Structure 1
Amino acid sequence: MNLSVLSGEGLRVREAEVADIAGIRDLERRAGAPFREVGLDVVADDEPPTAETLRIAVRKGEVFVVEDHSPSRGPGHGPVAWMWPSTADGDLLLEQVSVDPAYRGKRIGSALIQGAVDRGRAEGFAGVVLTTFRDIPWNGPLYRRLGFKTMRDAEIGPELRALRRRETEAGLDVLERECLRKRITR
C-alpha cells in the first residue's frame, strides 16, 4: 500500500507481520482511551481483537501498520497506527482503523483510509464500507469529510447487517452508529 503522504513525516506503512500482533493489541487499547472522554466506556474498555483473530488476518495479508521512523523516535517502538481492511457484501470493509492518540492530528488515519480506497479501486471493488459512531468527531464526521455517505437501511447487505448485530451484542448502541459507504470511481 503506497501512502507517500506519510513518508515526509518519517512514518512508514507496511503489511503487518505476526511479530506485530502484541503491538497492535497494545495500540488498540491506547486508541480506545479517548472514547472514555465522550462517555463511551464500553469502547474504551473493549478488548482488542484476539491474538488468534489477528494472526489469521495478518497471514491473509489484510492488516497494515504504520511505524514512526523519525529521528526522534526511530524504529522498534511498535506501530503508531493500524488498519484492517477485509470484505463485506462485495465491498472493501474497513474492519478497523486506529491511530495512537499521541499521533492524532497528523492525518495518519485519513491517509490509511485513502490507501484503502486506492486499494479497493486497484482490486476492482465498487465501494468501501464501514460501521462507525455517527457523531464522534474522529468517527462519522471524519469519514463524511472524506467522501463517505450514510447508507440507507435498504442498502445494507447481509454481511454488514451481521456485523451490526455483533456490535450490538458487544454492547454498542446501534442507534448511535451508522453504516457508511464511499463509492469508488475508476
Structure 2
Amino acid sequence: MAGSARSKSPEPRAARADELGVLPAIERRAGELLKGHPAYTVFAGHGLDLQTLQEGLQRGQLWVVDAADGGIAGYLLAGELCGEFHVLQMDVDPMHARRGHGRALLRHALGEAKALGYPAAVLTTLSDVPWNADFYASEGFAVVPQAEWSYGLRAVMAEEAALGFPMHLRVAMRRV
C-alpha cells in the first residue's frame, strides 16, 4: 500500500510568491521538447514574465504541483476570456513528465473554474503535438471552428500570429 501511495501524483496547490522565479525555467525546459517544430523559435523567444505570473498569483489562478523529490514539477496559469475560464499556460518539467502532473493540474484548475461558475474553459494550443491538442481532447476539450471564436479568442489568435506562431498548426479549444 505504501508503494501505491508514493506513486500517486501530488495534488496541485496554489503557487507561492517565492516560487514564481522557477516557473520560467520550467517553461523553457518544456519548450525544448519542441526543437525542430515550426513553433520552436516562438517558444524559445517568448516566455512568461514575472509580472504575468504575479498577476495570476494575485487572481488566485496560478497552481503548481510539487515534484516527488522536491521542487516544482509543473504549473498552470489561468485567467478569464470573454466570461470563460482561460488556460493561459501549462508546463511540466520534462524530467517530471508522464507522471500525471499535467492532467492533475488541468483537472484541479477546471474544478476551480466550475466552483467559480465559469460556463466553459478555453485555450489555444498546437494541433500536431500529442501532448497538446490530443491531450486536451482526452480531457473533454473540442476544437472550436474559427467561425465560432469569441472576440477574445480572435484577439488571442491575432496576438499569437503577431508573435510568429505557425497559425496553420494552432487551434482554439473549449470544454463546456
Q: Shared fold by TM > 0.5?
A: yes
Q: Which runs of 5+ in 1 are unaligned?
A: 1-5
Q: CA deviation at 1:8?
A: 5.2
Structure 2 equivalent of residue 3 of structure 1: none
Q: Cα 1:119–1:173, aligned 2, differ >3 Å: closer, same or farther? A: same
3-state SS of 1:130 partner: strand
Question: Within 1, Cα distance between the matches of 2:8 and 2:103?
Answer: 14
Contact kept? 1:18, 1:59, Cα under 8 Å: no
Contact kept? 1:36, 1:44, Cα under 8 Å: no
Counterpart residue type for residue 15 of structure 1: A
Counterpart residue type for residue 76 of structure 2: M
Question: Within 1, Cα distance between the matches of 2:100 and 2:11?
Answer: 13
Structure 1 equivalent of residue 172 of structure 2: 179
Structure 1 equivalent of residue 51 of structure 2: 52
Q: CA deviation at 1:12?
A: 4.1
Structure 1 equivalent of residue 74 of structure 2: 81
- TM-score normalised over the length of structure 2: 0.89
Per-residue CA distance 1:69-125 (angstroms, 9 max, x = gap): x3xx2x3x3x21000111111110100111011111112111211222212211111
Q: Cα 1:94–1:9, aligned 2, differ >3 Å: closer, same or farther? A: same
The share of aligned pairs that are identical, in percent, is 26
- TM-score normalised over the length of structure 1: 0.85
Question: Within 1, Cα distance between the matches of 2:42 and 2:33?
Answer: 9
> Structure 2 matches for 1:120-135, cutoff 5 A?
120-135=113-128
> Structure 2 matches for 1:1-186, cutoff 5 A?
9=8, 11-68=10-67, 70=68, 73=69, 75=70, 77=71, 79-183=72-176
Per-residue CA distance 1:116-145 (angstroms, 9 max, x = gap): 221221111111110000111100111112
Q: CA deviation at 1:46?
A: 2.8
3-state SS of 2:86 partner: strand
Q: CA deviation at 1:60?
A: 2.0
Question: Within 2, Cα distance between the matches of 1:30 and 1:62?
Answer: 22
Q: Which runs of 5+ in 2 are unaligned?
A: none
3-state SS of 1:80 partner: strand
Q: Cα 1:150–1:24, aligned 2, differ >3 Å: closer, same or farther? A: same
Counterpart residue type for residue 101 of structure 1: P
**Higher normalized helix content (fraction of residues):** 2
Contact kept? 2:64, 2:105, Cα under 8 Å: no
3-state SS of 1:138 partner: helix
Say how many residue pairs are matched.
172
In angstroms, what is the RMSD of aligned CA positions?
1.9
Choose 106-115 or 129-138, whichever is displaced more: 106-115
Counterpart residue type for residue 141 of structure 1: D
